[in-house]
Amino acid sequence: MNTFYSLLLSQPVSALTGAGLYIATYLSFLSLLKYPRNWKLPSASSTLVTGALAAFTVAFVSVSPSNPEVSLDVSTMLFLSGFIIVLFGIVSSPAIDFNPGSRRVVEFFANFGDTAGVWMLLPALVGAYAFPEAKLQGVLAAAITVELVWYFRHKSTVKRHPYSLDEHDTLVLNTQAKGNIEGFAKRHGISELEFLADGLQWNGCNKNTLPCPFNLYTNRLGLNTAPCCREHMKDLAYYVSTCLKDLNVDYWLEGGSLLGAVRENGNLLAWEDDVDISFLLDDKTTWSSITKALSERGKQDGYYIDAFGGEGLISISYDRPLLWPMRWERNRMRGEIRLDLVAYRRAVNQGQAIVERNSKKGVLPKTDSGWYGLAEEIVFPTSTIRFLGNDIPCPNKPQTYLQTLYQDYQTIEYLYVSSEAAETRRSTDTVQ
């Protein structure tokens, strides 16, 4: 046997190789989670890469090096496959739990998203004892180290800012909780709520804490957006608007944010889960120029920027970008405060000048080229509207824009809220 193979088969090197393969699989899996967080299906190529890395890790550990016939150790293979599936299930739960169709088991693991990974310590110890193989021990040690680091990073007691919930927030919370707010908070892991002698207190998020998982609270539980998150969404909207103005980009308030500005007198919808702005791609603003400029500014000012080229979507988050590879671990967070910046471009549809986008939005009509769009004159020249205390560009005909997007926009519809939570909520808001 030559020197290379004897080195590879030496115990420490085998363990280190196993650990390296696990870390690569883990990072690849984390990068996949950004898709469900943005309501998208992961791309086939990245899913394939993650699957191949996981399969290779399991194969590397399960093929016995001591046997020259290269025999497969089936029990090690089954144990490690099960271990990775359960651990990755736990890791991904917080990222997918806000989806209204999410299952109870996902919610259970998401509620304990900061700690549940550490529970795998016990199966890891049992596995390491039952299958005394250096390669397996390397993988298990790497997995548990990653979980311990994640756990201790969020164990630090960063000061949260206390907020009181206003009357409407409390009414909605009480209705969804059917009068038992404490039990409801416990069941759904609403850790921000504190019960004081003189009432409720909301311990708010900031840039140094994990964000409140308010997508879960608004979309699944039908609550109002948390007061801290509302405040950060306002800062984020102002920040992005200033950047776009500086970059001389044509942009306008879009979707639910425009609806809030028009229907709710310049406020956010009570259950808003993101801010929507759209912009025009043209000769002066190309996809690469805007993503590059925003990424650079975000890095400097402490905002995380992720671009989805195929969708024409730039997602800008309130949380601070960390250094790679910690950066991808943000996909394990249970919530985020985000602004969706969507690209439109000019086109001609049945002889009429339009602007169109790649992704579906509301009931925006399909265009000749198979995308989604509306007449250019509804958007340009843009006007301005009051939104969260600042003037921001909006479509030239905001009412027509909203009609094209949502038809009867004056009627309150609980978009993206689970049907059961929406039904309970409807009674609260009609009583109001």
Q: Where along the sequence are the contacts to Zn ion (CB under 5 A)?
A: 205, 212, 226, 228-229
User: Of 91 and 226, which CB lies nearer to Zn ion in the complex structure?
Assistant: 226
Q: Which is nearer to Zn ion, 249 or 337 (CB)?
A: 337
Nearer to Zn ion, 316 or 342 (CB): 316
Cα gap 43→309, rounded to integer Å: 12
Residue 224 CB, nearest distance to Zn ion (Å)? 12
Closest contact distance (angstroms) between CB of 335 and Zn ion is 8
Q: How far is the CB of 266 from Zn ion (least distance, A)?
A: 21
User: Distance of CA 252 to CAs 35, 207, 380, Å?
Assistant: 25, 26, 10
Provide φ and ψ at 317, rounded to 5°.
Answer: -110, 155
- For Zn ion, the closer of residues 139 and 205 by Cβ is 205
Please say whether the beta carbons of 318 and 338 come within 8 A. Answer: yes
Could you tell me the smallest distance in angstroms from the CB atom of residue 1 to Zn ion? Answer: 59
State in angstroms the smallest separation of the CB of 90 from Zn ion. 23
Q: Is 346 exposed, middle or buried (0-12, 13-18, 19+ CB in 10 A)?
A: middle
Tokens for 385, please give them: 């509207």
Residue-wise DSSP of 105-149: HHHHHHHTTTTGGGGGHHHHHHHHHHS--HHHHHHHHHHHHHHHH
314 backbone dihedrals φ, ψ, rounded to 5°: -115, 120
β 199-204/161-163 pair status: antiparallel
Give min distance, CB of 226 to Zn ion, in A: 4
CA 301 to chain centre: 20
Nearer to Zn ion, 228 or 374 (CB): 228
- Amino acid making up residue 101: G
- Considering the complex, state which of residue 226 and residue 236 has its C-beta at the smaller distance from Zn ion: 226
Which tokens is 294 given?
Answer: 């925003």
Q: Which secondary-structure segment (H or E) carries 298?
A: helix 287-301
Cβ 255 to Zn ion, closest distance in Å? 21
Nearer to Zn ion, 6 or 208 (CB): 208
In whole angstroms, the minimum distance from the beta carbon of 171 to Zn ion comes to: 19
Q: What angle is formed at CA 8 by the lines to CA 5 and CA 12, rounded to 5 degrees?
A: 150
Nearer to Zn ion, 217 or 372 (CB): 217
